Amino acid sequence: MVVLSSLILYALVSGACISHGFSLGRNPACKRSPAVKASSSSQEEETLPQNAISADAIYFDIQVAGQDAGRLIFDLANPSPLPLHTENVIQLCKGSRRSIDPAAHYVGCEFDFSPASVEDGMGRYRWGHQLRGRGRNAVGKVDEPIVDVENQLSCTHKCFGGQYYGVEYDEGANEEDPGVLLTVPVKGPGYGTSKISIVRVGESPQEWGDRLLMNSGVIGRLRSDSLRVLHSMARQRMGPPTVVASGVLGN
């Protein structure tokens, strides 16, 4: 009876790991409980989802060689399995610290542009696009890497050769989902900074798959109607895709 009760309790806690925009994947390892906040109008307590973030979606307007390429929109997991990293990206998109730190935003930043980031048909393409930002954070101290070990460990997923964190990639979750993920580095070079990557797991060769996510934290997914914009970025040779505007949607 004790074992059964424990299993039921575990299922309830694990079930709290949900997303407003998409599934967190099969058997999510995230284990969170609700946070309790006192109501300002009375002594009653208000139950809020722990790890809630301030936006459900973000966008980047892109130009290439001075020409509009379109808008990339990403749905975010909310509550987030990696709330500090996700909120940092949200606030950098909004430029909320720009008045006190002119470098704490993405506008004017360029995606990496090299033979490794252009589809050339020669097998050298890495199926990812990196936007490094300016190395300044909008959560915590601007020049210190964000570290969120507790949430990172509670949402760890195995892949061939290692592991990744945050939202679990589920290839069969939605037939219309292109399988393009928004990630942040949580280990290795650039961890805990303004750097983000767009990783095309669903379009990559089968032998790569979620290996492309190793040492990264998955925080969101590209909307299917933005895939055309991403493809145009990947297939052009005119110059680096540049962010000309960014922000949040639905808030």
Q: What is the pLDDT of residue 23?
A: 47
CA 216 centroid distance within chain: 9
Q: What is the 3-state secondary structure (H, E, C) of the chain?
A: CHHHHHHHHHHHHHCCCCCCCCCCCCCCCCCCCCEEEECCCCCCEEEECCCCCCCCEEEEEEEECCEEEEEEEEEECCCCCCHHHHHHHHHHHHCCCCCCCCCCCCCCCEECCCHHHCCCCCCCCCCEEEECCCCCCCCCCCCCCCCCHHHHHHCEEEECCEEEEECCCCCCCCCCCCCEEEEEECCCCCCCCCCEEEEEHHHCCCCCHHHHHCCEEEEEEECHHHHHHHHHHHHCCCCCCEEEEEEEECC
For residue 42, the cross-strand partners are none
* Tokens linked to 201: 């797991």
Burial-class residue 16 by CB neighbours within 10 Å (0-12, 13-18, 19+): middle
Q: What is the pLDDT along the chain (251 residues), one digit of tens a residue?
A: 433 333 333 333 333 333 333 444 443 435 543 333 333 333 433 444 578 899 999 999 999 999 999 999 999 999 999 999 999 999 999 999 999 999 999 999 999 887 666 776 655 566 789 999 999 999 999 889 999 999 988 899 998 889 999 999 887 666 678 899 999 999 888 899 999 999 998 888 777 888 889 999 999 999 999 999 999 988 888 999 999 999 999 75
Residue for token pair 């493809």: 231
Question: Which residues lie below 8 Å from residue 59, measured CB to CB, with a gap of 6+?
Answer: 71, 72, 73, 74, 93, 245, 246, 247, 248, 249
N- to C-terminal Cα separation, the chain: 45
Burial-class residue 71 by CB neighbours within 10 Å (0-12, 13-18, 19+): middle
* Tokens linked to 222: 């590209």
